[in-house]
Amino acid sequence: MGNAHGHRHRKRPNSVPPPHIYDHPPPFSTPPPTIANSNMLSLPYTHVDTTLRALAAQAEGFGRFAVGGLHGPLHRVTSLADDGPGSLREACRGKEPLWIVFEVSGTINLSSYLNVSSHKTIDGRGQRIKLTGHGLRLKECEHVIICNLEFEGGKGHDVDAIQIKPKSKHIWIDRCSLADYDDGLIDITRESTDITISRCHFSQHDKTMLIGADPSHVNDRCMRVTIHHCFFNGTRQRHPRVRFAKVHLYNNYIRNWGIYAVCASVEAQIFSQHNIYEAGQKKVAFKYLTEKAADKEVGTSGYIRSEGDLFLNGAEPGLMTENGRCNMFHPSEYYPSWTVEAPTEDLKHILHHCTGWQSVARPADQAL
Active site residue ranges: 238
CA distance 169 to 190: 11
Sign of CA dihedral 283, 205, 303, 336: negative
- Identify whether 27 is preceded by a cis peptide bond (ω within 30 of 0): no
Q: 36: which DSSP letter?
A: P
**DSSP string over 194-209:** EEEEES-EEES-SB-E
CA distance 339 to 48: 15
3-state DSSP helix/strand/coil % of the chain, to nearest 5 = 10, 35, 55
Strands 20-23, 7-9: parallel, antiparallel or unpaired by DSSP?
antiparallel
Q: Are 275 and 254 in contact (CB under 8 A)?
A: yes
Element (H, E) at 173: strand 169-174
One-letter identity of residue 337 = S
